[in-house]
């Protein structure tokens, strides 16, 4: 009996980690930028659409066309490109001390994500790094964590793709080489013999709901990152659902997934059109508490209908396609009962989280845009901490 229970738990765990049940897709015809589409999907459903396989693609396309009578344009899905999400193949946290995992030695102008698909890193003979397409074939450097000598790095003079090189190193040694400091960079440089080699640094595109789907459905020639600003992904509903990378501020229809929380509200479009253009430095938004005009600091309060550790001060930093958000926040628990709550309903406990936010961006955003970005990124942080994706986050100015 005990054995049967253990077997049941094993299969239950596998079902959670894999794509077990078909996702329920919802086509929204209102045109919004990617970030606002993400916010709407999280408020009304679960998130922007994640796609696991060709069956999902077919159902997604059919959902859109059945609900509109034949919509054939592009629509946002949840895949996006975080250009700073680099990480090492060897993920043992005990191997990195004092931020050694953050060491970088990029060549001038790198990384540039040329043509939109440079996800792996190559070291040149001069010891400098560049991002490169992972399918290209190069020699590579393995790390041997079991070596009893002072030479843990091994040059493998076989041309392989980055992924094949990773598999080779994991089979014969420990992993592809991590470079933690200048000394190790110089050691590997001496091994390269003035040629280019793969090292263990890489990144991947991310799904809005942090799913681990590796399925891709690109159009021919995509992604291409035209202009260096195409970080969000759209599906072409008139072309078999094939994908392309697009500028995130482009307004498109979009597809959500999940069961709706209540009767979904229609997205509200602003009657004012704002043109987003690169600005250096960024014009500060009032109130500004920093003398550095490339960043904006405001104080605000965020009200969460969820459980957060009360009376706790924390700091965090996150980055999206729109910019970087650094925040220090403290939380306290406050009982709250909304107006019109019936006697049979339980009052909602809200947590007031006081934020001091530093926002840095290469584009000019309105104050509402900044508040929305903070709300979305803070929601991401809470879901990564294990809270449900249905959590509601709102940002309000404190009452003086």
Q: Read off the pLDDT of residues 332-342 as tens digits, 9 standing for 90 and up.
A: 444 444 444 44
**Spatial distance between the Cα atoms of 117 and 173, rounded to a whole number of angstroms:** 28
Neighbours of 313 (CB within 10 A): 9
Reported as a pLDDT band with limits 50, 70 and 90, residue 363 is low
68's enclosing H/E stretch is helix 54-68
**Spatial distance between the Cα atoms of 155 and 192, rounded to a whole number of angstroms:** 7
Q: Is residue 290 scored above 90 in pLDDT?
A: no
Mean pLDDT for the stretch of residues 174-194: 94
Q: How high is the pLDDT of residue 228?
A: 82
Cα torsion 211, 214, 219, 220: sign: positive
Query: 149: which 2 tokens?
Result: 């000598």
Backbone angles phi, psi at 273, to 5 degrees: -100, 125
Query: 111: which 2 tokens?
Result: 């990384």
How do 206-207 and 312-319 pair as beta strands?
unpaired
Dihedral Cα 104, 108, 109, 115, nearest 10 deg: -80
For residue 3, what are the CA distances in angstroms to 14, 15, 96?
17, 19, 39
Reported as a pLDDT band with limits 50, 70 and 90, residue 17 is very low
DSSP category for residue 50: P
Nearest Cα residue to 129 out of 173, 95, 179 = 179
Q: Is residue 294 scored above 70 in pLDDT?
A: no
Q: How high is the pLDDT of residue 265?
A: 67
- pLDDT over 70 percentage in the chain: 60
Per-residue pLDDT reduced to its tens digit, 219-275: 999 999 988 889 999 999 999 999 999 999 999 999 999 987 665 666 655 433 333
Average pLDDT, the chain: 76
Tell the residue number behind the tokens 């190069």, with chain if given.
138
Tell the residue number behind the tokens 């344009």, with chain if given.
73
62 burial level (CB within 10 Å; 0-12, 13-18, 19+): middle
Tell me if 391 sits within 8 A of 383, measured CB to CB.
yes
Query: 6: which 2 tokens?
Result: 């253990």
Tell me if 328 sits within 8 A of 315, measured CB to CB.
yes
Q: How high is the pLDDT of residue 14?
A: 41
Per-residue pLDDT reduced to its tens digit, 65-79: 998 888 999 999 999
**Spatial distance between the Cα atoms of 104 and 285, rounded to a whole number of angstroms:** 33
Q: How high is the pLDDT of residue 280?
A: 37
Mean pLDDT for the stretch of residues 300-325: 43
Q: How high is the pLDDT of residue 259?
A: 82
> What secondary structure does DSSP assign to 182-229, as a single string?
HHHHHHHHHHHTTS-EEEEEE---EETT--------BPTT----GGG-
**Spatial distance between the Cα atoms of 322 and 370, rounded to a whole number of angstroms:** 10
**Spatial distance between the Cα atoms of 89 and 202, rounded to a whole number of angstroms:** 7
371's enclosing H/E stretch is helix 367-384
More confident call, 214 vs 296: 214
Reported as a pLDDT band with limits 50, 70 and 90, residue 150 is confident
Query: 133: which 2 tokens?
Result: 């397409």
Q: How high is the pLDDT of residue 342?
A: 42
Q: Is residue 283 scored above 50 in pLDDT?
A: no
More confident call, 372 vs 96: 96
Per-residue pLDDT reduced to its tens digit, 243-258: 999 999 999 999 999 9
Q: Is residue 318 scored above 50 in pLDDT?
A: no
């Amino acid at each position: 009996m005990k054995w049967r229970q253990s077997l049941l738990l094993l299969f239950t765990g596998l079902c959670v980690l894999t794509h077990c049940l078909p996702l329920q897709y919802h086509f929204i015809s209102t045109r919004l930028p990617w970030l606002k589409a993400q916010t709407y999907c999280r408020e009304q459903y679960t998130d922007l659409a994640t796609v696991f396989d060709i069956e999902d693609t077919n159902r997604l396309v059919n959902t859109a066309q059945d609900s509109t009578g034949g919509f054939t344009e592009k629509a946002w899905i949840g895949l996006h490109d975080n250009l700073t999400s680099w990480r090492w193949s060897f993920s043992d946290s005990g191997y990195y001390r004092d931020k050694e995992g953050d060491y970088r030695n990029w060549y001038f102008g790198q990384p540039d994500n040329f043509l939109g698909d440079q996800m792996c890193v190559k070291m040149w003979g001069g010891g400098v790094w560049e991002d490169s397409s992972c399918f290209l074939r190069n020699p590579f450097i393995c790390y041997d964590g079991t070596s009893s000598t002072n030479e843990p790095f091994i040059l493998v003079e076989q041309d392989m793709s980055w992924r094949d090189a990773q598999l080779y190193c994991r089979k014969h040694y420990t992993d592809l080489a991590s470079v933690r400091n200048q000394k190790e960079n110089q050691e590997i440089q001496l091994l390269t013999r003035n040629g280019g080699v793969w090292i263990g640094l890489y990144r991947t595109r991310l799904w809005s709901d942090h799913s681990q789907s590796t399925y891709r459905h690109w159009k021919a020639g995509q992604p291409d990152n035209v202009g260096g600003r195409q970080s969000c992904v759209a599906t072409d509903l008139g072309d078999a659902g094939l994908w392309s990378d697009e500028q995130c501020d482009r307004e498109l229809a979009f597809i959500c997934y999940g069961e709706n929380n209540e009767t979904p509200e229609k997205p509200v479009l602003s009657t004012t059109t704002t043109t987003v253009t690169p600005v250096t430095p960024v014009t500060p938004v009032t109130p500004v508490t920093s003398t550095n005009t490339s960043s904006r600091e405001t104080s605000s309060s965020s009200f969460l209908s969820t459980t957060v550790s009360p009376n706790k001060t924390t700091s965090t930093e996150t980055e999206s396609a729109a910019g970087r958000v650094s925040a220090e926040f403290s939380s306290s628990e406050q009982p709250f009962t909304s107006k019109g709550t019936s006697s049979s309903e339980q009052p909602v406990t809200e947590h007031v989280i006081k934020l001091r936010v530093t926002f840095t961006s290469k584009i000019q955003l309105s104050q509402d845009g900044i508040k929305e970005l903070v709300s979305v990124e803070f929601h991401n942080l809470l879901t990564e901490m294990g809270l449900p994706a249905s959590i509601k986050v709102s940002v309000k100015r404190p009452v003086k």
